[in-house]
Amino acid sequence: MVKDPVCGMMVDEKKTSLKSEHDGQTFYFCSASCKRSFDADPHKYGHSK
């Protein structure tokens, strides 16, 4: 389980198809809405700059 960087919900990375790659790291999401928010501005959601 990993934490969705947008909403903080725990996500099973083995079951979700909602993921994004950014700076060589994979991020997993609970919903398409969270994924869209992250994709628009990854640094806003705590991804290191």
Q: Residues 18-43: pLDDT tens digits? A: 999 998 999 999 999 999 999 999 99
How sure is the predictor about 49, in pLDDT bands with cuts at 50, 70 and 90?
very low
Range of the domain at 6: 2-45
Specify which residues 20 forms β-bridges with.
Answer: 27
Tokens of 6: 């947008």
Cα–Cα dist 28/40, whole Å: 15
Note the residue count of the chain.
Answer: 49
Is pLDDT above 90 for 7?
yes
* 2-11, 17-26, 38-47: range with lowest mean pLDDT: 38-47
Q: How many structural domains compose the chain? A: 1
